Amino acid sequence: MQIGKLLRSVSVAIAIALSCAGSAALADTLPPLKLPGPYPVACSNVMQDFTRVPAGQNVESYWEGVPAGNGTPRYATDLLNDAANALTVTIAPANDDELYGSFAGRVVPYVLLVCYPTTANNPRANYPMPNGHAVPHMQRGAEAPILPNSATRYPVVLFSHGYGGSPLSGEYIDALLVFASFGYVVAAPFHGDLRISNLQIENFSDFFYAATHIRDFTAMQSLRPLSLSAAIDLLLSHPQWRDHVDPTRIGGFGASQGGESLLLQAGAGLTKSIGLSWSTVIRDPRLKAAVGYIPYFGTFVLPAFGREQRGLDGVTLPYLAISGTSDTTAPIELTLPGILRLPDPRELVALVGVEHGFDVPSTNDIFTWSVTFLDANVRDDPVARENLLRTTSVAGGGDDRVIVPYNAVVATNFGGLWWNAPGGSESGWGINIAHQADVIFATWLTYDLTGKAWWLSMTATRTADNTFAGPIFETRGPPFNAVPFDSSKVTRTGVGAGTLTFSATGPATFSYSVNGASQTKTIVRQAFSRPVPACTFGAPPNFASVTNYQDIWWNAPANSESGWGINLTHQGDVIFMVWFTYDLDGTPLWLSATLTQADGAGYSGTLFRTRGPAFNAVPFDPAAVTRTMVGTASLTFGDGNNATFSYTVNGIAQSKSITRQVFRTPGTLCR
C-alpha cells in the first residue's frame, strides 16, 4: 500500500514538473554540442586472438563474462594475446559474504580499455573487431599513448557500462569515444557481470525471484565500484599514464547499472537483503562528479540504495541523472526520490517517451547534458556551470526536460574576457577583468570619437554582493616603440565612473558615465575554446608551476616600465592577448592577437589593430568594426610566472620580459 502511494505521488510530481519545464524550454534552450568533440581519439592495447572463439560462438560473450553452455567461466582475459601490454587490474574484496557472496576474499581480474584525445597525425592503425566496430589508433605492444600535449594533465572519466555489456559491445564503444573527443582520458573496465550474476534484472520486480537470487546480484553490484576505483589506481601509478592524468579532476559516466555503480563508488549504501538493509561498499573521494544515463536505482520491490533510498544520505557527489519516462527497467519514479536525497549540485533530466536503452534521436541531448555537467563539475568550467543553471532543454533531438534543476554555488571570481554577446550584437568591444580579492582591475577595450582603438581602465572595489564600482581613467604614455620606456611620462586623467554588477547565473551589467555619456550594457564571459579555466583567490598560489596563464601581466617593476600591460585570456590551447599600450602620439592604443600553441611553452599569432564605433554609439554597429594586421606577437613562458613578450609592429621589433601582476596578495590562480 505504501509503495502504491509513493508511486502515485512521484508520478504526479513528475507530470507537474514536465508541464512546468515545457513552458520555459524556449527561453532557456542550450544549443547541442557538435559531435564528436574537437579531438581525434586513440585507445590502449586490447589486442586479442579471435581464433580462440569456437565456431558458432560470439566474441562478446567473452567480453561480457557469459559462461559457456557447460558452465565453464569465460572472460576477456581468455582472448588477450598481448596481456603484458594490456591494461589489467585485480581486486580482492573483503571477506564479507553479505556484500560479495561467493567472491568474498577471492581475487577477481578486470581488463580495462582506456581511450584518450590524440593528435590529428597519429599514425597508428585502427583495430577492427568481429562485431563491426574498431578501436581507433590502437596502441600495439608497449607503445606509449600519443597525446595532444605531453606536458598537460588531462581530466579523467570513468566509464561504467550497463549490466551484461562491455566497453566494446554495442553502442558503448561509440559513447566512450565521444567523451575522449572532448579532451577526457576515459577508463572503462570490462565489468564481466555475467561471470558473477547471470540474471535478468527485470525479474527483480518479482519478490520471490529477488529473494532467491539476491546474494549473487548483490555481489555483482558490490564488485563494480571496486573495479572503478582500481582503474583510478592504475592510471595514477602506470608509467604511461601517471604524468598525463589529473588526480584532482576525475568524473564518471555510467549507463543503467553503471549509473548505480558510480554512486556506490562515492559511498552510497547498497541494498543487501530483502529486508532492505544496506551497507557502504567503498567511499572514493577522488570521484568529483558523475552522470547516470537511464541510471538503475532499483525496483519497487528492491530499491538499490536501501529502504526509501536512504543509503544515498550523506553522499556528496555532484550527480546528473538522465532518465526515460517510459523506462520500466530503471523507472524514473524511483530515480526522482533518490536524486532528491542528494545534496546540491544534482540534477534530473527526463527524456519523454524514452524506454530502457540508448535513444538515437536523443543522442545530442544525452551528450550535451553529460559533457556540460562534467565540464562544470570536473573541470570547474564556469561557462558550463552557468549553462546548467539556466537551461531547461537542449535544442533539437528528443524531448528532454529538466525535472530537478541544477543548483550549485557559482564561482565568485569574475576574471576573464567579457563582451556584449546576446546574438553577437555588439561584437568588437570588450572588457578584460582581473579579479583579486575584493578588487577588480578592468580594462575597457573600446573606440574614441574618431573610431580609433582606445582603452580606459577602472580599479573597482566591492560595494555590495557581486557589485564593484570605481573611477574610470584615460592613460597616456610613451609610444609602444619607445626605448627605453620612461614610466615617469605616464599620466592618468579621470574621465568618469563605472559599475560592474554580476548575477548568479553569469550575465553582468556594465554601467558607465564617460565624458558626459552614460550607458548600461549587458555583458557575459566570452568562451572561445575548451576548457574555460576556473580561477580562485585564496591560499598562496604556486604561480611558477601552473600551465594556465590567464591573468594581467606587466614588465616587472624592477625594469621600470609601469604603465603598460597585457591581458591574457587562456582557454584550452588558445590565448587571446590584448596589449594595452600607447600610439606614436602617446594616446592610449590597444592591439590584440589570438595566439596558438607552437610548442610546449610558446604561443604565437598575428597582431591586429582594430577600429570601430565610438564608445558612446547607440546602437553599436558591429559591421563597422574593422581589423588591420600590423605585425606578429609571441609569448615564451619560462614558467607559470615569467615570460618573454616579443613583437613586430609596422616593422619595429622588440622583446620584453613580463610577469604576472599581483595587486592584491596573494593573487588569483586559474586552472
What is the enclosing helix (H) or strand (E) of 5?
helix 2-24
- pLDDT at position 559 over 70: no
Between 223 and 28, residue with greater pLDDT = 223
Question: Are 453 and 394 in a shared domain?
Answer: no
Task: Tell me if 583 is assigned to some domain.
Answer: yes
Task: Tell me if 423 is assigned to some domain.
Answer: yes
User: 116: pLDDT confidence band, cut at 50, 70 and 90?
Assistant: very high
- Region for 65 from its dihedrals, namely left if φ exceeds 0, alpha if ψ lies in -120 to 50, beta otherwise: left
- pLDDT at position 421 over 90: no
Q: Which of 183, 139, 172, 151 is nearest to 60 (CA)?
A: 172
Dig out the grid coordinates for 435 from the structure. Answer: 579579479
Question: Are 421 and 570 in a shared domain?
Answer: yes
Task: Tell me if 409 is assigned to some domain.
Answer: no
Residue 493 near residue 515 (C-beta atoms within 8 A) = no
Nearest 10 degrees: Cα torsion 334, 336, 342, 345: 150
Question: Are 425 and 295 in a shared domain?
Answer: no
Question: Are 393 and 483 in a shared domain?
Answer: no
User: 589: pLDDT confidence band, cut at 50, 70 and 90?
Assistant: very high
The least confident of 12-26, 143-157, 402-416 is: 12-26
**Cis peptide upstream of residue 343 (ω within 30 degrees of 0):** no
Task: Tell me if 410 is assigned to some domain.
Answer: no
Whole-number pLDDT of residue 471: 97
pLDDT tens track for 599-614: 666 999 999 999 999 9
Distance (Å, rounded) from C-alpha 587 to C-alpha 582? 5
Dig out the grid coordinates for 45 from the structure. Answer: 592495447
pLDDT tens track for 121-131: 999 999 999 99
Mean pLDDT within 426-432? 93
The least confident of 167-181, 581-595, 598-612 is: 598-612
Count up the domains in the chain and report the number.
2
Question: Are 444 and 394 in a shared domain?
Answer: no
Whole-number pLDDT of residue 669: 87
Across the chain, mean pLDDT equals 90
- pLDDT at position 170 over 90: no
Domain boundary residue, one of 404, 425, 452: 404
Domain boundary residue, one of 372, 404, 436: 404
Whole-number pLDDT of residue 210: 55
Measured in residues, the chain has a length of: 671
Task: Tell me if 411 is assigned to some domain.
Answer: no
Mean pLDDT within 147-173? 94
Whole-number pLDDT of residue 409: 56
The DSSP letter of residue 344 is S
Question: Are 235 and 354 in a shared domain?
Answer: yes
Question: Are 590 and 498 in a shared domain?
Answer: yes
Positive or negative torsion for Cα 184, 507, 343, 15: negative
Question: Are 216 and 363 in a shared domain?
Answer: yes
Distance (Å, rounded) from C-alpha 364 to C-alpha 160? 20
- CA 93 remoteness from chain centre: 32
Name residues whose C-beta falls within 8 Å of residue 610's C-beta, 6 or more positions apart in sequence.
428, 447, 453, 590, 592, 625, 626, 627, 628
Whole-number pLDDT of residue 657: 92
Between 467 and 5, residue with greater pLDDT = 467
Whole-number pLDDT of residue 381: 84
Residue 83 near residue 154 (C-beta atoms within 8 A) = no
Distance (Å, rounded) from C-alpha 411 to C-alpha 274? 44
Residue 356's domain comprises 2-404
Q: By three-state DSSP, how is residue 318 classified?
A: coil
Whole-number pLDDT of residue 24: 35
Question: Are 457 and 400 in a shared domain?
Answer: no
- pLDDT at position 22 over 70: no
Whole-number pLDDT of residue 504: 62
Q: Round the CA-based radius of gyration of the chain to a whole number and report it.
A: 28
Domain boundary residue, one of 404, 437, 467: 404
How far are the Cα atoms of 346, 528, 531 from residue 318, in angstroms, in the given order?
A: 5, 26, 19
Distance (Å, rounded) from C-alpha 218 to C-alpha 257? 12
- Phi and psi for 218 in degrees, rounded to 5? -65, -40
Question: Are 424 and 382 in a shared domain?
Answer: no
- pLDDT at position 208 over 60: no
Mean pLDDT within 394-404? 94
Distance (Å, rounded) from C-alpha 333 to C-alpha 513? 55
Question: Are 243 and 378 in a shared domain?
Answer: yes
Task: Tell me if 138 is assigned to some domain.
Answer: yes
Task: Tell me if 612 is assigned to some domain.
Answer: yes
- pLDDT at position 206 over 70: no
Question: Are 524 and 607 in a shared domain?
Answer: yes
Whole-number pLDDT of residue 494: 96
- pLDDT at position 21 over 60: no
User: 549: pLDDT confidence band, cut at 50, 70 and 90?
Assistant: very high
User: 12: pLDDT confidence band, cut at 50, 70 and 90?
Assistant: very low
- pLDDT at position 169 over 50: yes
Dig out the grid coordinates for 615 from the structure. Answer: 564608445
Question: What's the CATH code of the domain at 34?
Answer: 3.40.50.1820
Whole-number pLDDT of residue 69: 86
- pLDDT at position 77 over 70: yes
- Phi and psi for 310 in degrees, rounded to 5? -70, -15
Residue 301 near residue 330 (C-beta atoms within 8 A) = no
Residue 59 near residue 190 (C-beta atoms within 8 A) = no
- pLDDT at position 20 over 60: no
Distance (Å, rounded) from C-alpha 290 to C-alpha 374? 7
Residue 30 near residue 395 (C-beta atoms within 8 A) = yes
Task: Tell me if 621 is assigned to some domain.
Answer: yes
Distance (Å, rounded) from C-alpha 76 to C-alpha 60? 9
Mean pLDDT within 477-481? 95
